[in-house]
A and B are shown apart, each in its own frame.
Chain A
Amino acid sequence: MAQLGSEAAAVLLGLSAFPLALVLTRFFMAFNSSRGIFGIDVHKKERPKIPEMCGVSIPITLLALSAVYGLTTNGQHLQAIAYAAVVASTAIIGAVDDLKRMRGYYKPLLGLLCGLPIIVLGLLYPDSVYNPTLRVPLFGGFHLPVIYPLTIPVAITVTSNTVNMLDPLNGVMAGGVAIMTGGLLVGLLAKGAEPLPIFLTASVLFACLGFFYFNRYPSRAFAGNVAQLAVGGSVGAFAILGRMEIATIVAMFPHIQNSFFFLTKIKRFAEHRDIAAKPTRVLEDGRLASSGSPSAPLTLVRTMLVDGPLPEKRVVSRIFALFLFSACLAAITILLT
């Protein structure tokens, strides 16, 4: 009963991310507009100016809630501190990139540093932050005392940058991550998991939903790198701290495909704005079409358009369907683990 109570409290605390992110996003829409921080919606014929970096509401929400969680639970404040440090550091890198435009390879390199708080706290307080036994579905686990901590920085930079790479259309990042964390949350609740992973997934889910309200098609607020990197960092952190690494990889199948085919085509870390051959183009009637350029990356959006042009809203729906499918596989993976 006590366990049920702490699970419910974790979900309720995570649920409070929704109104908080909603209010903060509305605030930053006005604030960033007044500061002239805008982005261009390049997939609309009219190319409207949209307030940029409004997704900063998400890392602020996650930081606030992780502080509350760390202060109100027994023995989990170290994990809350590690999680908050990852979210804050990835958000700072994203904010710098939004304001100063870093070169493409800086973000993956700096992302490596963002995993260090988990390793350092893990070294200082063994068995209190992460567990180096990788749990795998059906077949037990692997104890990896040396390799596991070494992979933590790689995991954080991969998740943060891969989420950063899949926000091409209105609402895709926030909606996609909300769906994948929703699947993970269902799996965790069905399995009767510990409160910490439940809280972490619920807070990301509802923070993303709060932002999604303004970011959905047609967008009134853009996330910015600040939100994309922070959300990706938080996904990596909750996978490690919540011991659901494999299920999170499964939930991120759409991200993995998008990033893998981008990198194999471009063969370097590059910003979308630096790519000459664009994967998609906007037709006269406003629909999106594959550019057909042999040198353009095979992004997920381009894959969705391979059978012919589609309205942006339809492409977003198809990507959400893919996230829903991978989220279901991820929930099953949790139950098998």
Chain B
Amino acid sequence: MLQFAIFLVQWILMLSGFYLLAGVIAPPRLFEPTLEFGRYLEAGLKALAALFMSMMWLLVWDKQVRILFFRKGDA
């Protein structure tokens, strides 16, 4: 049952992450459209934000498994 709960939490976090990406991170324009390479810089920064969120997502998964299953020093 704990493992089901972990999957459910990760799924909800994933959907929440997509909300943040689609609603908060993607829309703002960071550079003037006339700026050379501005479009690519903006895409790169937003991709980095998505990468950071993916790392956080995995970190939460890691902590859940370690706390719920391996807290007794088994690992």
Contact = CB atoms under 8 A, between A and B. Distances in A.
A290 to B, nearest CB: 6
7 contacts: A246-B14, A250-B14, A257-B65, A329-B8, A329-B11, A333-B11, A336-B15
Interface stretch (A22-30, A138-146, A202-210): A138-146
B75 A294 contact: yes
Contact of B7 (A260, A294, A329): A329
A296 B75 CA distance: 8
A195 B58 CA distance: 34
A264 B62 contact: yes
Given A137-B15, A260-B58, A303 B3 contact: yes
B45 to A, nearest CB: 12
B4 A325 contact: yes
Given A296-B75, A322-B7, 19 more contacts: A136-B22, A137-B18, A138-B15, A138-B18, A139-B18, A142-B22, A147-B43, A249-B14, A257-B65, A260-B62, A292-B74, A298-B75, A303-B3, A303-B69, A306-B69, A306-B70, A306-B74, A322-B3, A329-B8
Q: Is the interface of A mostly helix, strand, loop or mixed?
A: helix
Contacts of B70: 298, 306
A294 B66 CA distance: 13
Contacts of A294: 75
Interface magnitude class on chain B: 20 to 34
Contacts of A296: 75
B65 A261 contact: yes
B31 interface: no
A83 to B, nearest CB: 26
Given A139-B18, A260-B61, A303-B3, A253 B10 contact: yes
Interface string A243-280: 00010011001001100110011000000000000000
Interface residues of A, number: 31
Contacts of A333: 11
A303 B75 CA distance: 10
B41 interface: no
A30 B56 CA distance: 49
Interface string A162-198: 0000000000000000000000000000000000000
Contacts of A146: 40, 43
A139 B16 CA distance: 10
A138 to B, nearest CB: 7
Contacts of B33: none
A228 interface: no
A292 B8 CA distance: 27
Given A306-B70, A306-B74, A326 B18 contact: no
Contacts of B11: 250, 253, 329, 333
A254 to B, nearest CB: 8
B23 interface: yes
A246 B8 CA distance: 15
Of B58, B69, B75, which is in contact with the most chain A CB atoms at under 10 Å from its CB? B75
Given A264-B62, A306-B74, A139 B22 contact: yes
Interface string B1-38: 00110111011001100110111001000000000000
A166 to B, nearest CB: 14
B47 interface: yes
Contacts of B66: 298
Contacts of B21: 136, 139, 142
A208 B21 CA distance: 36
A257 B62 CA distance: 9
Of A246, A296, A306, A325, which is in contact with the most chain B CB atoms at under 10 Å from its CB? A306
Of A256, A294, A322, A329, which is in contact with the most chain B CB atoms at under 10 Å from its CB? A329
